[in-house]
Every structure is written in C-alpha cells, then in structure tokens.
Amino acid sequence: MTEMVKLIESRRSLRAPYDPGRPVEPEKLAQILEAARWSPTAHNMQNFEIVVVDDPQVLEAIARLERPVSETFIRENYAQLSSSEEELLQRKTGILGTMFPPSWRKPDFRLDELSADEIAAMHRPLPASPLLLVVVYDPSRRAPASEGDFLGIVSLGCVMENMWLAAESMGIGMHIVSSLSSGGEVKEILGIPERLMIAFSCRLGYPGSAPPPYLRVRREVVDFTHRNKYAG
C-alpha cells in the first residue's frame, strides 16, 4: 500500500519534448492499455475507445495543427495563479504564475491589447513525442439517470488515472493535451466519426532530459475532510 501511495505522489505532468529516438516499448504500451481496460466505469459501460498514434507522419500532422490559447482560458486560469512560492505554499492549490508569460498574469487580460509577439506565443507547437493516445467517447451513451452524464465523465477520469499511474510505474512520461479535445482537424486526421467526442489526449514517452524541478502543493487531508457533517 505504501508503494502505491508513493506512486500516486510521484505522478506528474511532463510537458517537455520526449526523446523521439526512444519509443515506448510495445509491451509497456500493452500494460498501459491493460490498465485502461480495467478502469472502473459507471454500470461497466466501458464508455471509451482509444486511438493509438505512433506513425511519425501522423504525429507530425497533428503537431502542425494550430492550438491557440483562448482568452477564456487565460482569464479563468488567472484565478489559479500564485505570484510566489510563498503564496503557493500558503494557498496549497493552484500553480505558480511564473510558469506563464507576464501578459497572462493580469486580472484584466484582453486579447486585443497584446503585441504581435505575445499573440504568436499563444499558438503553441505540440512538443515532440513518439506516442499519442486519443481517448474518445460517445456522448449519446449516457450513464443511467446521470444528469449531464456526470458518472460517464467521471469514468473517463478513471481511465486517465489508471493509464497515468501505469505509465509512471514504468518510468514513462505522460502529458494530458486538452487543447486537442475540440476535435475538428484532429478527428479528420484520425478518422474519428463525427458522433464521437475526444475526452482527452495524452503524449507518452521518455523525457530527453531530466525534467526541471517545480513546487508541487496539495491541501492537507484535514483541509478537505469532514467528519459526519459538512463543516464548510
């Protein structure tokens, strides 16, 4: 049990480019997919399909797609930012603002006030990786009596976590790419039917260099637990 908790604690998002010359071994990919297979899903619906992308030409086509950051994302992201490590340690939630450009750290962010260079910086290239998994689901298959298919969405989160922990246990980096979830050109490239939606995509691979250290914070258990009655 202690080893499992340590694995959960060590899991992190590795956003850096992965070594293109070191693909994920087939047997390790099989274990990651096996972990997805045994994910808990509402009513055992198994409401997901996974497109495995390892063809260099297909990966390159996806990497070339425009992935602009939306003004909505930047405005809502601002509330999660801390200006210093001291503030982050005190808040125990969110991330350091220094991870983002100065223009993203303004409460009154306006897209039309950015310089040409700042706008160009919002169009981020997809970092290199030898493997991309695209998880899709059918929104018309709702978990029974689940408003907004909340239970179905939670199930997709279980798939993500199972794959992530399996990858972490084998020393494989993983990075969730939410900007591909809008579909469009990605679905066209991968032949994903219109009726299906992309839940999330994830890059997998071995980092080309040691990831830089950064401050990771979590609330203490006492901060989010309530005994017998909610005491918020």
CATH of 2-66+125-205, one of 3.40.109.10, 1.10.8.620, 3.40.50.2000, 3.30.70.2860: 3.40.109.10
Measured between alpha carbons, how far is 159 from 154 in angstroms, rounded to an integer? 9
Per-residue pLDDT of the chain in tens (232 residues, 90 and over written 9): 789 999 999 999 998 899 989 999 999 999 999 999 999 999 999 999 999 999 999 999 999 888 878 888 888 999 999 999 999 999 999 999 998 888 888 888 888 787 877 777 666 678 889 999 999 999 999 999 999 999 999 999 999 999 999 999 999 999 999 889 887 899 999 999 999 999 999 999 999 888 888 899 999 999 999 999 998 7
Q: Using DSSP bridges, classify how beta strands 95-96 and 81-82 pair: parallel, antiparallel or unpaired.
A: parallel
Contacts of 174 (CB under 8 A, 6+ apart): 13, 14, 163, 164, 167, 168, 202, 203, 204
Measured between alpha carbons, how far is 168 from 8 in angstroms, rounded to an integer? 9
Domain ranges of the chain: 2-66+125-205, 71-122
